[in-house]
Structure 1
Amino acid sequence: MRKFFLFSIISTVFLFVCCKNDSANNGNIYIGGKIVNPNTNYVIISKDQEPIDTIQLNEDNQFGKYLPKLDAGIYTFQHNPENQVVYLEPGDSIIVWVNTYDFDQSLNFSGRGSKESSFLLDLFLRNRANNNLVLDYYKIKPKAFKKISDSIHKTRMAEFNKNVEGHDLSENFLELAKQSIDYEFYDLRERYTYLIKKYHSDFTDLIPEDFNNYRDSIDFDNELLQNYYVYTNTIDDYLRTRAIEHCIEKHKERDCYNISNFENVKRRASLIDSLSNTPAIKNKFLDILLSKAVTMASNEEDLNEVLDFAKKIKYSDIDEINELADIQTNYFTGKSIADFTIRNSNGEEITYKDAINRKTIVYFWSANNSRRYLWQFQTIQNLREKYPELDFIGINLDIGQHKKWLRVMDENNYDKSNQYQLSNRAFGENVATKYLYRINFLDKNAVIVKGDEALSTSAEFESKLLEFINN
């Protein structure tokens, strides 16, 4: 029944948007469809984080437009705050149907050229499931996990080869798809390596000699996949693990698993700076890492160390980092944020001193990152039960998305009494989200006691909570 209903909607949309002269699609790309329960009245098509076109929805929440001649490759289909990748080639005519209440699961592609985007969506959903798989299996011995990951890779490739038989797919897409499957496999191994080293160090000596041989195949200048999350996740996890391995080798006495401290961030930034010669790839990671180092800086000395390092490697967006550094001076240890404004669930603007009356942990989250906020809320709920001496309040960073923020809380039955949203400030949303991984330890007067921490389920993090409680 649902398939018939969906087909009817897609057919209606297709007739609506394609009744124009089809000759207009000579080498161009057509994209249209319908958004059920829209968050905004438009969709955005972008590439390399740069918008290509903004397409308005009509009164029936339908949209459609011919795009100018574009190169074949991965693009982003965005309906704020959600997005997903699509694969487009000249001559394609893609119809999109999606319900925002379950964006990724409901997303459906049809029309000429849709098989490629459907493949990438399926890979995304499988990859998301693999996140849970790694957490389930990292406790098993390396030799057993090697067999499991080899089997997954072999099955994926066999399914792909079977599905592409008889379909006229471009060499560009076939190469992209094969590499995507490979990088999914690399990332499985990389995440397992990290978890073993952190939580089961007794298994480290059991890791087969060839377990990480895939690292020699990682291409840090892969322009074909540079905007694809499977590829970027792999590099991100590789940099994390390699930085930890370097620390263990050189500084056995140090806590090498605090991936938020500057030495760890600096090592990852140095690695990507030396490994990649492609500015778009290198700068993507440097922006994330250097921004994180700035937002975790607790004092002027730490901040200057980050800025000096950025200058040393000749970071291209140094002006943006300097701007972020100016903002960060308001969040050093010992600074009061009592008079900074936030917005409650009724839309009323209040200050931190109105919301805080005892020792409090402040965490930040975004509705645009569902995987993270689901983990954050579960982690915070566990901590709230274990440490009733502390208050925990969440600050949503999605400035201007009040309805979306409320909807996420309603859908997940979150207690709104300890939830607030960032109110409009002098800096924009792009700057606000740089603080996604920061935790603030505040005293009863909303003075920052500690701010260079990231939320964690580790025993080390909980020991810092106990120290905060007892001091």
Structure 2
Amino acid sequence: MKIYVSILLSSLMFFWSCEKNSSSTENNIAYFGGEIINPTTKFLVLEKGEHKTDTIRLDGRNRFLYKIDSLKEGIYTFKHGGEYQSILLEPNDSVLLRLNTLEFDESLVYTGKGAKKNNYFINEFLENEKEEKYILKLCQLEPLEYLKRVDSLKQRRLDNLERFTKKYDVSDLFHKIALANIGFNYNASKEMYPFMHYGNNKGDFLIKLPDDFYSYRETINYNDTFFKHYHNYHKFLRSNFNNISLEAHYKHKGDERFKWSSACFNLDRLHLIDSLVTDESIKDELLYYFTIKYISLSNNPKGNSLILASFSEKTNNEFSKNSMEHYVRALQKLEPGSKLPSIPILDYNNNEYEINSVINKPTIITFWSNGMYSHFKDNYLKIKELTVKYPEVNFITINVDDIGLEKPKQILKDCKFNCDNQYLFKNPEESKKALVIYPVTKTFIINENKEIVRSNANIFSMSFEEQLLGLINN
């Protein structure tokens, strides 16, 4: 890798020299390159906002080097397979990455001009992932103690940022994004607190919070055009709308026990999004996210109709409307008592089967994607555990990627997982649409008559084993 980086950097220095000697160049270019280990496709996509910047092909050694002319500085997103990550590009940057798709975020490292700021961001991203688990435990503390702990964590991040900016020469743009990241993450932690705190009466709990617990809300910009395509901004908005919708919900539902599946709560949330967000792309993303999340987990046809009608009334995006309507129609074909559509699947010896033909007793069907590697490993280990506890149940796992047979087979081999009851779709895109595989954690419960019992179970949910016992004892 060191030799490769040296060669690339030498090439970039040559290019820069040519650019500087050209009077027609305004010096607003950047280079983006690197190496992807275990690629799932032969290309990656670089995007800024809603516009696809380009599809960048990998060479025979899974490397690439791409020049960005007329650079618009800011946050870009690069995507490969089902994974993505953000990168900050500014004029004259020459950022080279190296990553392994089996540990996408954890293995990602940058070199070259512009690398330090992006290594800062990826390190902060990984630290936040670890910290979120710790914060979930803190949620059982009383409000003042919770605030004290979370504010202490936030101050530690601010101190880290200050040390970084003193050590390195950073731009105002970097500082703006870094500060916003810290704010988005810790304000989201405060928004999720009532949901994670023990107890069912969330209304009473909200009332007892200190008056200044959410004082930062006065500064929220629900229509931030700079961050409108930024993951951390949307993550914060989702947490915020969950919480303010809870507050609105309890104003007319009193001390009723809170349920995520309440159509009333979800209608309140869509109404608040519509009333507070005027930017069309931000509004559409939030409306779509919460609508599809509700419908994908719902077993309430009436609630689905109400939510779909509210969504269609509030969004102006015709593609989103059509997509959601198609999603609902596909779900209706997977209602309890129905059979799975006829879908061809392959085992890892390339033998073809019709999906219903491999179901001969109570069966659980789960899915995995190379783009969600942690879920893949957790899913396999969970099935291994359940197979021992429930030998009368058949557990089938299907890879959903369109990457051929050898790649997922190699992943199983590398993890020392066997291929028993492991399949992949012959026609991935058609099959995913027919089975409405969103999210990939979706689990089908099928009875011995090959009839669907549940099409939206989750093997990791607390109620799953109860559902499994119901399947066996029916």
Displacement of 1:10 in angstroms is 1.5
Shift of 1:435: 4.4
1:93 deviation in Å? 1.8
Q: Which residue identity does 1:59 align to in structure 2?
A: G
Quick one: structure 1 residues 158 and 283, their matched pair in 2 at CA, closer, same or farther if it must change by over 3 Å?
Answer: same
Contact 1:45/1:77 (8 A) holds in 2: yes
Q: CA contact under 8 A between 2:400 and 2:428: conserved in structure 1?
A: no
Q: Deviations over 1:171-221 (max 9, x none)?
A: 222111111111111122333432114689799487544333344443322
1:34–1:294: structure 2 CA closer, same or farther, 3 Å change rule?
same
Q: Residue 398 of structure 1 aligns with which residue?
A: 401
Amino acid at match of 1:126: E
Paired letter, 1:220: Y
SS in 2 for 1:393: strand
Alignment match, 1:320: 323
Q: 1:348 to 1:334 in 2, by over 3 A?
A: same
Please name the residue that 2:9 is paired with: 14
Q: How much does 1:146 deviate?
A: 2.0
Whole-angstrom CA distance in 2 between matches of 1:466 and 1:244: 33
1:3 corresponds to: none
Alignment of 1:116-155 (within 5 A): 116-155=117-156
Q: SS at 1:399's partner residue?
A: coil
Residue in 1 that maps onto 2:22: none
Which residue number in structure 2 is paired with residue 422 of structure 1? 425
Q: Distance in 2 between matches of 1:441 and 1:331?
A: 11
Is the CA contact 1:294–1:324 (under 8 Å) kept in the aligned structure 2?
Answer: no
Relative to 1, partners in 2 of residues 1:40 and 1:454: Cα closer, same or farther, differing over 3 Å?
closer
1:281 Cα offset (Å): 1.6
Q: SS at the partner of 1:331?
A: coil
Secondary structure of the equivalent of 1:165? helix
CA distance in 2, matches of 1:19, 1:463: 65
Quick one: which amino acid aligns to residue 231 of structure 1?
A: Y
Structure 1 segment 90-101 matched on structure 2, within 5 A:
90-101=91-102
**What amino acid is the match of 1:159?**
N
> 1:395·1:419 contact (CA, 8 Å) conserved in 2?
yes
CA distance in 2, matches of 1:366, 1:380: 16
Q: Find the counterpart in structure 2 of residue 236 from structure 1.
A: 238
Report sequence identity in percent.
24
Farther-moved stretch of structure 1 (427-436 vs 115-124): 427-436
Q: Structure 1 residues 171-180 or 320-329, which shifts more?
A: 320-329
Once the two structures are overlaid, the 10-residue window that deviates more, 102-111 or 203-212, is: 203-212
Cα pair distance change 1:230/1:462, threshold 3 Å = same
- Cα drift, residue 85 of structure 1: 0.9
Give the TM-score, by structure 2 length: 0.84
Letter in 2 for 1:443: N
Q: Deviations over 1:37-59 (max 9, x none)?
A: 43333232112354211222233
In the TM superposition, residue 121 of structure 1 has moved relative to its aligned partner by: 0.9
Instruction: Name the CA distance, whole Å, in 1 between partners of 2:266 and 2:391.
Output: 33
Question: Which residue of the other structure, out of 207, 221, 224, is the alignment partner of 1:222?
Answer: 224
What one-letter code is carried by the residue in structure 2 that aligns with 1:14? L
> Does 2:298 match 1:310?
no
Q: 1:440 aligns with which of 421, 424, 444?
A: 444
Q: 1:60 to 1:396 in 2, by over 3 A?
A: closer
Partner-residue secondary structure (3-state), 1:77 = strand
Alpha-carbon distance in 2 for matches of 1:452, 1:39: 27
User: CA, structure 1 residues 58+7, in 2 after alignment: closer, same or farther (shift >3 Å)?
Assistant: same
Indicate which of 362, 366, 369 corresponds to 2:369.
366
1:332 aligns with 335
TM alignment of 1:173-252, pairs within 5 A: 173-197=174-198, 204=205, 207-244=209-246, 250-251=252-253
CA contact (8 A) 1:299 1:332 kept: no
**TM-score normalised over the length of structure 1:** 0.85
Distance (whole Å) between structure 2 residues aligned to residue 402 and residue 49 of structure 1: 33
| Number of corresponding residues | 464
For the structure 1 residues 218 and 362, does the alpha-carbon distance in structure 2 shift closer, same or farther, using more than 3 Å as the test?
Answer: farther
C-alpha distance 271-156 of structure 1, shift in aligned 2 (>3 A): same
Looking at structure 2, the residues matched to 271 and 113 of structure 1 have their Cα atoms a distance apart, in angstroms, of 40
TM-fit CA distance, 1:76: 1.1
Conserved 8 A contact 1:399-1:421: no
Are 2:171 and 1:170 equivalent residues in the alignment?
Answer: yes
Show the counterpart of 2:52: 51
Residues in 2 aligned to 1:255 and 1:130: alpha-carbon distance in whole angstroms: 29
Choose which of 333, 356, 365 in structure 1 pairs with 2:359.
356
Structure 1 pair 176–305 and aligned structure 2 pair: CA distance change class (3 A)? same
**CA separation of 1:199 and 1:73: change in aligned 2, threshold 3 A:** farther
In structure 2, what is the Cα distance between the partners aligned to 1:391 and 1:346? 20
3-state SS of 2:339 partner: coil
Distance 1:38 1:395, change over 3 A: closer
Distance 2:315 2:107 in 1: 44
The one-letter amino acid of 1:160's match is: L
Structure 2's unaligned 5+ residue stretches are 20-24
**Aligned equivalent of 2:454:** 450
Deviations 1:249-306, CA, capped at 9 Å, x for gaps: 65578663445x6555444333323322222222122222333344456587565444
